[in-house]
Chain A
Amino acid sequence: MIARVLLLLWIGGWIVAGFLWAPLVPVLGETTRVLYFHIPAAWVTVLALGWSMLHSILYLKRRDMDHDHQAAAAAEIGILFCVAATISGSIWAKAMWGSYWNWDPRETSIFFLLLTYAAYLALRAAIDPGERRARLSAIYSAIAFVSVPFLIFVVPRIYFSLHPDPIINPRGKLDMDPKIRTVFYAMLIGFTGLFFWIQSLRVRIARLEQVRDTAAGGML
């Protein structure tokens, strides 16, 4: 309970600080603040994917249904944050680059993550709950793990060649204003906390559902 209130105060406080305390970057203007939401959301997307894949592999090793609950919950939350990062990035791209979608390497990568999450969840939806669903989706998750880092290498190749002058983010993290940097890192921590909190709720629900279904099966 206390942890949840602290998390709320932490995120709320730093949002206010982002608007009132931290300065704006000259070129970016008002859009500077997307930094405090968009990048943490994208970070959670990657974190959730990694978390999901880690638990998938652990499931295959240990066959404990709890790892399946973790993997599925992280994928569900991951796709949520992935959509949030995609939309916020797209709005920012419209403001800065003049169009919502340019197939910029970063946009391509996040689109790919969305596809991977969606495929994983579509696969789960096609199998009845139980050991088979846990095992098959864990196999898929593990093989998808191979393709994710590859895309980081492959995407710039194909899209740089399509776009002769790719638009690279002009901001270097190193010369970020100290106040901006403080708010940015604080929001990263806040979003990470948010992820683990939602994750714990989702896993508890999954455990309860399993208990309920088992009990119902016993009474049939």
Chain B
Amino acid sequence: MPTSGSSSAAAVWAILRKECVSEWRTRYGLNAALLFAVTSLAGVSFAVGRLSDRVDVLAALLWVVLLFASLASLSHAFVREVEGHTLTMLRLVASPTAIALGKLLFNIVFLAVIEIVTVPLFVVLMGAPAIGGGFVLLLALGSVALACAATLVGAVIAQTRGRGALFAGVSLPLLLPVLAAAVSGTRAQWMGGSIAPDAKLLGAYAALLFAASLLLYDHLWED
């Protein structure tokens, strides 16, 4: 039905906008994530110093910092709804798929903001090579895969007793392939190799996670 399709696009858009306004007014998740990113970056930098001659290690460190900064707050999108008891209202106005897609888009935007701050800081503080187009592609694909995994797992985790506590552990198996391919691609890029195989892997993984998520979103909330 075209009407239902357009109305759920409206729902996704409304949810994305609502998320951005809420986040901007409270800045709870953003502050926590940025602080976490800068803290772990400073921690890494203090622990190992400048590593300009070891780009292979730098690639790994960058993705570990990004992964942990995002893990610290990506579950927030749903935990906030459950803790504020606003999930009922949300479920009354939008389909589970529209809710999850709205949150997914918000998580992608959220990751982009964290990366815009963290990556340049990392390059400056750690002496990493300049960032090229290939790297941005890897970053984009990695972020989409990360956001897909985090959105689905976040929605599940928010309904458990521990809420946020389990999030990192439970999403890790889904994120390890992202981490491995992204690190391998970044390393190749910085060492002058081809990123194509890793970019393809990341892209395929992101697409598969997204497709599977679309099938599963419908089952997320039933009580």
Interface with B: A71-79, A84-92, A140-148, which one?
A140-148
Interface: A207 (CB within 8 A):
no
Residue with the greatest number of chain A CB neighbours at <10 A, chosen from B152, B173, B205: B173
State the total of A-B contacts with C-beta under 8 angstroms: 101
Q: For A116, what are the chain B residues with a Cβ–Cβ distance below 8 Å? A: 173
Q: For B160, what are the chain A residues with a Cβ–Cβ distance below 8 Å? A: 123, 126-127, 136
Q: Does A112 contact B166, Cβ atoms closer than 8 Å?
A: no
1/0 per position for B144-173, CB-CB distance to A under 8 A?
A: 000001001100110111100010011011
Interface: A62 (CB within 8 A):
no
Interface: B45 (CB within 8 A):
no
Distance between B55 CB and nearest chain A CB, rounded to angstroms = 13
Distance between B175 CB and nearest chain A CB, rounded to angstroms = 9
Q: Nearest residue in A to B155 (C-beta to C-beta)?
A: A139
Q: Does A131 contact B223, Cβ atoms closer than 8 Å?
A: yes
Q: Does A143 contact B172, Cβ atoms closer than 8 Å?
A: no
Q: Does B159 contact A127, Cβ atoms closer than 8 Å?
A: yes
Distance between A103 CB and nearest chain B CB, rounded to angstroms = 12
Q: For B216, what are the chain A residues with a Cβ–Cβ distance below 8 Å? A: 60, 139, 142-143
Interface: B103 (CB within 8 A):
no
Q: Which of B172-194 contact A (CB under 8 A)?
A: 172-174, 176-177, 180-181, 183-184, 187
Given contacts A126-B166, A127-B161, A136-B156, contact A119 B180 (CB under 8 A): no
Interface: B219 (CB within 8 A):
yes
Q: For B149, what are the chain A residues with a Cβ–Cβ distance below 8 Å? A: 143
Bound-state Cα–Cα, A136 to B156, Å: 6
Q: For A140, what are the chain B residues with a Cβ–Cβ distance below 8 Å? A: 153, 156, 170
Q: Does A161 contact B152, Cβ atoms closer than 8 Å?
A: no
Q: Does A150 contact B208, Cβ atoms closer than 8 Å?
A: yes
Bound-state Cα–Cα, A158 to B180, Å: 6
1/0 per position for B207-223, CB-CB distance to A under 8 A?
A: 01100110110011011
Closest 8 CB pairs of A and B: A126-B160, A158-B180, A116-B173, A150-B177, A119-B170, A154-B180, A154-B177, A146-B212
* 21 CB-based A-B contacts, threshold 8 Å: A112-B173, A118-B169, A119-B173, A126-B162, A138-B219, A139-B152, A139-B156, A139-B216, A142-B212, A143-B213, A143-B216, A144-B174, A147-B209, A150-B205, A154-B181, A154-B205, A155-B180, A157-B181, A157-B197, A161-B184, A161-B187
Q: A139-B219, A147-B176, A154-B184 are in contact. List 9 more A-B contacts (CB 8 A).
A: A119-B170, A122-B166, A123-B166, A126-B160, A131-B223, A132-B159, A132-B223, A143-B152, A143-B153
